[in-house]
Chain A
Amino acid sequence: MEITATVLLFAGAVLGFMAFTHLSMNMSVPKMIWLSHVVLVALGLLALIINAFTTDSMEKHYNLMVIFVIALIPALTMFAKKDINTRKALAIVYGLTGFFGLFWLITYVLP
């Protein structure tokens, strides 16, 4: 389940990076891209939560969940803000926090 969460979150991160690239060039983000990002990240987080309940390991990744919840704050705020400059700033904070969480997770998964 840990690996499933990593794969889903990695795919979500790739699409998030694509969305950010659009945003950075002042282009509107294609709906398909941001929607897929949201779905993949949501599934990744769900996999992490299931992992916490089912794993026998001492490491339940609660710290990661806190990091991702912090990342969600600017992400959700983006929906409420229409100004492109504010959205860029929120996307930077969201992206850096989210990537930090993903990297932290990968340190457990990679051999």
Chain B
Amino acid sequence: MKWTYPIVAFTIFFVLGFGLVNLIKEDLEVAPWAGSTATEGRLISHTKNVTRLVNASPADLHAYLKTAIPYEEAQTTNMAPSEENWQDFFIASLNVNPEARHVIILPGGDKKALAWSLPALYYAYFYGSPVIFYNNGELIGRENVTNAMQAYVLGTEQMVPDEVLSDFGDVERISANSPQQLALKLAEYRDEETEFGWGREVDRDNGYFHYVLTTPEDALEGLAAIPYAVSNNASLLYAEEDGGISGELDRYAFAQRADWFVTPSEGPFRHFWFVSNRISYAAQGRLDFSLEKAEYASMGPIALGDTEALLSIFFIWGIASALFVWIHSLYFLPMVNMPIKIGWTLASLLLPVLGPVLYINSYRRPAKEVDDGDWRWIRSHNQQSATATIMGFGYGAPLMIVVGFILVWFGFPIFFGEGMEGTFFWLGAGMPIMMIAMYIFAVLIAWALVQYPMKKSMMPGMSAKKISKMALITTALSMLAVSLGMMSVSWYMFMNKIPMMPKEDDVLWFASMWLASFIGFLVAWPFNWIFIRKQLKPGNV
């Protein structure tokens, strides 16, 4: 029976630990709310700041843009781009600027080379830069440029080796770990002297340029859309292969949000043109939002808000409190039983600062060994109530969060049958179902694996049936008290305070649950005062 406590602790640690690591990873690698799931089959053609050019093939897109962009200077050659002819297509379409101050050297050949070259091809098309392709050990187009021009090499050394560049006087290589990163680098890079690079860093003063977005796999569609480089001053950016967008692109896009000064109707507007059908609707929604004009001198309702910042601090204090109590009890309280230590540690996780304060207050008092290895501490009634609350709360509240996390991660059914009409309509909504499930599952697990064995070891003389009943009643009542505070606060946070409903990969989800649990503890504390008075729970262990 003693193994039940570590099993519960392991489950809580495993699920919440995974959730928190996932949170870090999501925020580092993928933009929030811009994954690739749950998007297929929706309306995906057009949003305010994004136009999706749904197309059957690069040839289809090329033909469409021939008529859709009627500007002579933006027109490409008549042949459609393909994997075989993409270099020829570009060279035939390019109008070289006779006063160009630089030359661009790019990998040529297969589709992978195109994916790496495309961001620079957009700039070359916009500016009229001479372009040299390196393919099969040869520099194609070398004869058209002089050695005196500054050369920019795009891509890694494996793609364009240093040896072949010895002819050029001044060479600068711009490379990255992926085509996505290279595109972003080029979007921000600028050398005024040689007039190379878009130089679009944080710039919110105008709306005079656009973006074309594709994926490296759909680089040919990106090439077919190259007229936008001239007609709309568009830089090329890449989404991820799975249709989501990276945290880096998200950061960049939000830095491009333009301001309005007097009225939001001021134009022109920045815009994304999507030419890959792989890009998800969530990514589209996110980028649409990123370019939405904000009021002067504000980033609008994005960036780290006050609630997010405060709750993150609260939540980090919780982790620090749990670590303190865990390590301290491990080294300095050998006479305290393992289940009690686990209870204090898990409770401290949800009770930043208050948890360690109550813990220290509980164990700095005189203690007595009542039985072999069984110690009791002399505590006031209030302190006993706090300890009794911790024993239920420490296991119950994290279990409720664990159940909630699993439900939001995997999803849960929402019923809207006829029986759910009228008075009981709320039973069919998501939040009540989640709250009921959190309570029931957490009570059952805590009762069977924690409270029953705990009471059994403390009252060996009592019958199993009586202990079981007593454990169920105290667990259910104690957690009902916790739920009163916890559910009310989580309802307020999710449905009222936070403008956008947070998901499980959002720090606000975890932080709201932490705050709700804290309030849940404060509500349950007085109820446990009664349990101590009636000797239904021990408060001096």
Contact = CB atoms under 8 A, between A and B. Distances in A.
Contact of A104 (B6, B25, B341, B409): B25
B338 interface: yes
A46 interface: no
B198 to A, nearest CB: 26
Nearest to A10: B14
Contacts of A88: 330-331
A24 B338 contact: yes
Interface in B325-340: 327, 330-331, 334, 338
Contact of A99 (B6, B17, B25): B17
Given A25-B338, A26-B334, A88-B331, A17 B6 contact: yes
Interface of A: 13-14, 17-18, 21, 24-26, 58, 85, 88, 92, 99-100, 103-104, 106-107, 110
**Considering residues A18, A99, A107, which has the most beta carbons from chain B within 10 angstroms of its beta carbon?**
A107
Nearest to B241: A58
Contacts of B6: 17-18, 21
A21 B331 CA distance: 13
B407 to A, nearest CB: 15
A107 B25 contact: yes
B22 interface: yes
Contacts of A107: 18, 21-22, 25-26
A103 B22 contact: yes
Contacts of A26: 334
16 contacts: A14-B10, A17-B10, A18-B6, A21-B6, A24-B338, A85-B331, A88-B331, A92-B327, A92-B330, A99-B13, A99-B17, A100-B21, A103-B20, A103-B22, A107-B22, A107-B26
Interface residues of B, number: 20
B334 A103 contact: no
**Considering residues B18, B331, B334, B341, which has the most beta carbons from chain A within 10 angstroms of its beta carbon?**
B18
Contacts of B341: 24
> Interface on chain B toward A: helix, strand, loop, or mixed SS?
helix
B58 to A, nearest CB: 23
Contacts of B331: 85, 88
Nearest to A13: B14
Nearest to B177: A58
> Interface on chain A toward B: helix, strand, loop, or mixed SS?
helix
A44 to B, nearest CB: 16
Interface of B: 6, 10, 13-14, 17-18, 20-22, 25-26, 178, 241, 327, 330-331, 334, 338, 341, 409
Contacts of A21: 6, 338
**Considering residues B21, B241, B341, B409, which has the most beta carbons from chain A within 10 angstroms of its beta carbon?**
B21
Contacts of B13: 99
A25 B334 CA distance: 8
A49 B331 CA distance: 37
Nearest to B10: A17
**Considering residues B22, B330, B409, which has the most beta carbons from chain A within 10 angstroms of its beta carbon?**
B330
Given A24-B330, A26-B334, A88-B331, A103 B10 contact: no
Contacts of A99: 13, 17
B217 to A, nearest CB: 12
Contacts of B20: 103
Nearest to A21: B6
Given A25-B338, A92-B327, A107-B21, 11 more contacts: A14-B10, A24-B341, A26-B334, A99-B17, A100-B17, A103-B20, A103-B21, A103-B22, A106-B18, A107-B22, A107-B25
A52 to B, nearest CB: 16
A13 B21 CA distance: 16
Nearest to A24: B330
A104 B26 CA distance: 10
A104 to B, nearest CB: 6
Contacts of B409: 110
A95 to B, nearest CB: 10
B17 A103 contact: yes
Contacts of B330: 24, 88, 92
A47 to B, nearest CB: 19
B181 to A, nearest CB: 12
A35 B20 CA distance: 30
Nearest to A95: B13
Nearest to B21: A103
Nearest to A20: B6
B248 to A, nearest CB: 15
A88 B329 CA distance: 12
B327 A103 contact: no
A99 B14 CA distance: 8
A35 to B, nearest CB: 19
Nearest to A57: B241
A106 B22 CA distance: 9
Nearest to B23: A107
